[in-house]
Amino acid sequence: MFYFDDVNIKELEKLLINYDKCFKKENKDCLRDFYKIKKLLKKVKNTLKYYTLSMYSDILTNLLNQKFYNTFLNDNLKIKRKEEKETLNNLIKYIKEHNINSLMFIDFSNFKYINDNYGYDKGDKILEIFGDFLNSYPIIGVRRGGDEFIILGNKNVINNISSIIHSNAFLKTLNNVIDHNNDTIITFPIYGIAIFDNKKITASNFKEKISKTVKIAEENYKINKERKKRSLIYKYIKDDSLRKKIYSYRTNLNISY
């Protein structure tokens, strides 16, 4: 996962809290180590690494957040700050080092139905599980907002992700969060994929190229949406009354089926 560095900020802060408690007990050894860690943490917090983690991390999924998307992947905003320019250069370096040449747009089907009928805590748990899954890959994973995700990765990695997220086992893992039996799949990810040439990417053209790639992936998503939704819903939802309920719910919202 793209985080610009190998420093575990949360672990450092945890150590600092522990040594703070130790310090209050007036243990000399703990006191010495406490100041070492405090000095290290202060140094890390003043670096681009901490700036990036704190500014662009999505709390729920541990992916990058909407602010990251708007700043670096959307062509509408210009990069002006020194820290943003340095982050962009690190981003491009990561893309080339990991041969990232594919972009995936993901949106969950029937996710509003989950939130409205089972509660936002269930929906959040599904997104949290999905974030943990994505974080296991060498990708640039962004939660753009709600249940929308932008994933940049090597073509083979993206293909692997696309095959897993529609597997029976993965869909059951997500939907087991809801109080239903293992055979019921209500929500599932639908995606669109687009490729780009990472060799021609520079700091000056990056946002324009990626923004165009996102739009292509979104168009491919729309094509897959009509093809996948019907087949997946009728394949996995065996309860006919629930199937009709979801159909009726979406029709009332004027959502194409």
Mean pLDDT by 10 residues, the chain (257 residues): 50 59 57 61 53 75 91 85 86 89 94 90 94 89 94 92 88 82 77 92 91 92 73 53 53 38
The contacts found for 121-125 with CB under 8 angstroms, 24 or more apart, are 122/177, 122/178, 123/147, 124/60, 125/177
DSSP β-ladder status, 102-109 and 148-153: antiparallel
Note the pLDDT of residue 103: 96
Note the pLDDT of residue 44: 53
Coil vs helix vs strand at 118:
helix
Note the pLDDT of residue 48: 47
Q: Check: CB of residue 189 under 8 Å from CB of residue 130.
A: yes
Note the pLDDT of residue 43: 58
Note the pLDDT of residue 149: 97
Burial classification of residue 226, based on how many CB atoms lie within 10 Å of its CB (0-12 exposed, 13-18 middle, 19 or more buried): exposed
